[in-house]
Each structure stands twice: as structure tokens, then as C-alpha cells.
Amino acid sequence: MGLSRMLDVKPDPYVALCPSRKIIEVIGDKWSLLVIPLLIDGPKRNAELLRLIEGISQKMLTQTLKRLEEYNLVARRDYGEIPPRVDYRLTPLGQSLADVIGQLDNWVIKNFEELLHA
């Protein structure tokens, strides 16, 4: 490990303005948590996602995908055809995140009953 590494400030989401706080918010977002796992088994189109995620609006889907794209978690692909054909897929970074979220999902399913009656 080089000296420069030792000088790095490690991200701390408990500090309000630390960028990692924002990242926590993006990842820990209700819709992100639903969109990301859907992309694991291949690219999906806008209308497909809209149909698969009951209750999401076009607006929220677009907004969620854009934010995930900003953070390099999802890649948007426009085929330039008419009628329009666009799909979204996980980047390698997004794939690795999807694995972690998958664990979260499994946890929820596994502990579902116990969570409910509390």
C-alpha cells in the first residue's frame, strides 16, 4: 500500500456532507432496491420494468434509472430505432451491488414471518 493510500480520508456516512451519505440514500432507496434485482438476469426495457414493479410510476422509474446511471450502477442502451428501443442493464459495479442486495432480499424472505408479527 502506497503512502498516498494512508492519507486517504475514509468515507463516513455519519457525517452529513460526506458523499457516502448520498450513496447510502441512493442504494437504500425503495425503488432502487426493487429495480436492481430485476436486472440481474439480463437487460430490461422501460415498459417491462413498469409492468414488473407494481405501483411504480413512469416518473419514478425514469428518475431511479437515471440516478443509478449517474453512479455507474446501470447502463442505458439506446438502439436508435424507431419506434424507440432502449434497455437497461447492470454494469459490473452494479452486478456486484446486486449480489449484496440479493442477500438483503433473502434475509427478508427468510425472516418474513418473524418480522410481521413482531
Partner DNA sequence: CGGCATCCCTGTTGATACTG
Partner DNA sequence: CAGTATCAACAGGGATGCCG
Judged by the rule CB under 7 A, the positions of this chain that interact with DNA are 30, 45-48, 55-60, 62-63, 65-66, 76, 78, 83-87
Three cell numbers, residue 37: 434485482
Minimum distance from residue 41 beta carbon to DNA (Å)? 17
Compute the least distance from the CB of residue 117 to DNA, in Å.
Answer: 22
**Interface with a copy of itself (CB under 8 A):** 10-11, 13-16, 19-21, 23-25, 27-30, 32-34, 52-55, 70-73, 93, 96-97, 100-101, 103-105, 107-109, 111-112, 114-118
Of 54, 89, 55, 86, nearest in space to 69 by CA: 89
The C-alpha atoms of residue 52 and residue 26 are separated, in whole angstroms, by: 21
Nearer to a copy of itself, 47 or 104 (CB): 104
Residue 3 CB burial class (10 angstroms; 0-12, 13-18, ≥19): exposed
53 binding partner (options a copy of itself, DNA, none; Cβ < 5 to 8 Å by kind): a copy of itself
| Cβ atoms 75, 91 nearer than 8 A | yes
Residue nearer to DNA on the CB measure, 8 or 75: 75
Integer Cα distance of 76 and 45 in angstroms: 10
